[in-house]
Chain A
């Protein structure tokens, strides 16, 4: 099998799956009803994207596995998502900071990937890019509204930006999998994604009267399976049903 393409697809699927799980933890307790609906709708887009990616990864694998096996039967060290997406939802500003940093990255990443030579990844990216445009607009609006809002909302938003910042450099790390695939035209060029992300985030933080944090200490390892302590709890909650009743259907 094509190991690189499998890993590359799995990394994207895991990002979408874990962030979806985080967003859905807001169901029925978001600050307002419209936001409850918005966050779960964004989660719905992500689970759809995750499914397409897991189905493709299962197809690429030389083992007889399904999309469900990939989502529900892997342990912490086998997950390949970015550390950013597994961070706790915290208060609403924390959720928005995490979402905004991811959305801007995700949109730029997908816009690169729509032109890749791998037909399936390009098709999934072309579909996802339309959804990601709505996501980034939503989270940007909230960063502005909270940052340039009341004294309290400004303070909370700044704290959230400072806290999530340390997980952002990992999004642009390019390892040998990325590099080999990029050379074949199968991957997004992360150096281009970084330029777009830096420009957009710098401008928006300024507009939101927020201070862009200094160069961060690099928190990294998620894509190699080395996670923060939070992932295990997410998996425990997410995987309990299929693990306690394997093969169960309704």
Chain B
């Protein structure tokens, strides 16, 4: 159950984005895990995407700043590891935003969990530019911890694929 104030706080926090994926808010990314008010202090809980995500300190700082700018000078940002972040927390709408931004969104991890290594190799990420399935992986590691590097054989453009974890 969300109180009116929580709704307001979530609205304020919707302007905070992961600096490496500016098109999604931390709520849409699943990084924002909770907002509470305890003894007049705002307590925001966030979780990192990857263990070594360099953006997490920036995000924590942005949360404090945006809250201070909106009349909540006293806030606390709590970092939790459990439950571990998963790309499955992204909604279909968020995935569409990623695609529009030029990043191929992750498939569901549940679709992968039963598949063998051979099936994994057959998987192709659809090109976010031309939607072609005639694509191939270049490297499992890309421009940031959360992305893999792919290329499209149809439109010849390289693209980032958000890795399902």
Chain A residues near B (Cβ < 8 Å): 34-35, 37-38, 41-42, 44-49, 51-52, 119, 122-124, 126-128, 130-131, 134, 137-138
Are A34 and B139 touching (Cβ within 8 A)?
yes
Name the residue on A nearest B143 (C-beta).
A37
Name the residue on B nearest A53 (C-beta).
B51
Contact of B84 among A45, A127, A134 (CB under 8 A): A127
Name the residue on A nearest B164 (C-beta).
A130
Contact of B51 among A37, A51, A119, A138 (CB under 8 A): A51
Chain B, 56-85, contact with A by CB distance < 8 Å: what is the 0/1 string? 000000000000000000000000011111
Interface size on B, residues (CB 8 A): 23
| Consensus secondary structure, chain A interface | helix
Name the residue on B nearest A133 (C-beta).
B165
Are B139 and A48 touching (Cβ within 8 A)?
no
Are A42 and B48 touching (Cβ within 8 A)?
no
> Measured between alpha carbons, how far is A42 from B117 in the docked complex, in Å?
20
Are A44 and B163 touching (Cβ within 8 A)?
no
Given contacts A45-B52, A51-B51, A52-B51, contact A134 B81 (CB under 8 A): no
The interface residues of chain B lying within 8 Å CB-to-CB of A126 are 81-84
Q: Does B138 contact A (CB under 8 A)?
A: yes
Are B51 and A48 touching (Cβ within 8 A)?
yes
Are B140 and A131 touching (Cβ within 8 A)?
no
> Measured between alpha carbons, how far is A138 from B141 in the docked complex, in Å?
9
